[in-house]
Structure 1
Amino acid sequence: MALGRLDALLVGKAVPFVRHGTRSAIAKAPLSGATAALFLGLEGDEQGDLRIHGGVDKAIHQYPREHYAQWQGRLGQHPLLAQPGAFGENLSTTGMTEETVCLGDVIRCGSALLEVSQTRQPCWKLNDRFAVPDMALRMQHMGMTGWYYRVAEEGQLCAGDVFTLVARPCPDWNLARVVSVLYRRTLDRDELEGLGALPLVPSWQRLVARRLEQVQVEDWGPRLGGPLD
């Protein structure tokens, strides 16, 4: 089953960011031609802070182009929204959103095999990039986070490639539902137990277990607000 289309591939280099001592590769530029999807990400792409970005479970980030119109409705004609890459995504696409993609989906694109591993957890770098103090919180609240892939089989990707669904092991858990449990229905025990039964990345397994045990939500402040200058 065809899910969507790859419109642009984007990569970026890690450079000093706006706050003292920080680095980021959120400013990504489109590629022409094919590039390799490797186990640790697109060839030529970098991450500024490997403690929280990159790795096999967050190798490639996809963001729906459809969301740009909604952001324009809230932010106006922000210059970053004039072209793909505003959110630091690697794959800019049409036809796929958090409503139509499920956690654990196995997807063929080009000659690469990708697996949906988790949604994005928005961080303070979006605030600084857009010069909107609560941009990360807005993304979290709106649920337009995009998602990450792990690369199950390395291969080549090219703009124009189609995303084809190979397997859907968790059909009841589209990414919109996942985001809702993470950020809105945060202490719904039934939903948390359902999420915890899925093949989650280790950090999410710990997050769900803590919420169930402590009956409280983790502190989002450091992620959404970032370090002080």
Structure 2
Amino acid sequence: MQVLSTNIGNLTKINWNGKELNTGIFKHPTSSPLVLETEKVVNDSIADRKVHGGVYKACYLFSAKHYPYWKNRYPNLDWNWGMFGENLSVSDMDETQLRIGDIYKIGTALVQISQPREPCFKLGIRFGTQLILKEFIEYGFPGTYVKILEEGQVSSGDKVTLIEPSDNLLTVHQFFQLLYAKEKDEKILKLAIENLALPEYKRERLKKYL
């Protein structure tokens, strides 16, 4: 895997249900390296820190391999890297192979796969329709947030190198499907609850399904 683009965004004002809000989802490629800190990407804009940023959502990665699918569905958009609000657009990233808890070296930073992105209405704002939320969930390849174990710089062209695979076999794809499944697979459910790389509150919420 390799970083194809580093992306950041400024706060953008939007209207939603009669209210004026800010969003940081409008990200665009930058020629500068990104500095990954424990709870954020330096110089990137986060409008709502309740749902973005923080230890388990410090940086968002999305796979370039999914771009052709979405370009085909939305051909009239002005396409560029960062369309999904990702900080890092990565080649050949496959959520069916990424385990939650895997540790990767990206540039000089050391990161851990933490959780998939769960889409909200702001993705719908970016795509011009809230239908994208249902489509995004059904497609099942949401990209991933990472936890920053060692702060560092990431540039376009940097390799994404697996340093330590997780002992827990839960993949990003499996966990994303689990979140939205009406019938929870007990085997996957147990893997999620036992996976210490996931935020504790998510693991606690899942226990009610056992």
Q: Give the structure-2-normalised TM-score.
A: 0.92
In the alignment, structure 1 residue 201 sits paired with structure 2 residue 199:
yes
| Residues in 2 aligned to 1:170 and 1:21: alpha-carbon distance in whole angstroms | 45
Q: How many residues align?
A: 207
| Structure 2 match to 1:78 | 76
In the alignment, structure 1 residue 182 sits paired with structure 2 residue 179:
yes
Identity of aligned residues (%): 28
Describe how 1:43-122 pairs up with structure 2 within 5 A. 43-75=42-74, 77-80=75-78, 82-122=79-119
Give the SS at the match of 2:20.
coil
Counterpart residue type for residue 209 of structure 1? K
Structure 1 residues 185 and 96, CA, compared in 2 at 3 Å: closer, same or farther? farther
Give the SS at the match of 2:115.
strand
| Residues in 2 aligned to 1:86 and 1:129: alpha-carbon distance in whole angstroms | 8
1:21: how far off? 3.5
1:188: how far off? 2.4
Give the SS at the match of 1:21.
strand
Q: Give the structure-1-normalised TM-score.
A: 0.85
8 A Cα contact 1:180 1:186, kept in partner: no
Counterpart residue type for residue 29 of structure 1? H
Counterpart residue type for residue 42 of structure 2? E
1:172: how far off? 2.0
| Residues in 2 aligned to 1:51 and 1:157: alpha-carbon distance in whole angstroms | 25
Moved over 3 A (4+): none
Structure 1 residues 100 and 193, CA, compared in 2 at 3 Å: closer, same or farther? closer
1:186: how far off? 4.1
Q: Which runs of 5+ in 2 are unaligned?
A: none
8 A Cα contact 1:126 1:135, kept in partner: yes
Give the SS at the match of 1:149.
strand
| Residues in 1 aligned to 2:15 and 2:46: alpha-carbon distance in whole angstroms | 15
In the alignment, structure 1 residue 132 sits paired with structure 2 residue 129:
yes
In the alignment, structure 1 residue 32 sits paired with structure 2 residue 23:
no
8 A Cα contact 1:103 1:170, kept in partner: no
Q: Deviations over 1:184-218 (max 9, x none)?
A: 36422332122111112023113212333xxxxxx
Counterpart residue type for residue 156 of structure 1? Q
Q: Deviations over 1:79-121 (max 9, x none)?
A: 24x2111111100010212122110110001110011110011
| Structure 2 match to 1:227 | none
Give the SS at the match of 1:30.
strand
Counterpart residue type for residue 111 of structure 2? L
1:74: how far off? 2.6
| Residues in 2 aligned to 1:118 and 1:208: alpha-carbon distance in whole angstroms | 14
Q: Which runs of 5+ in 1 are unaligned?
A: 213-229
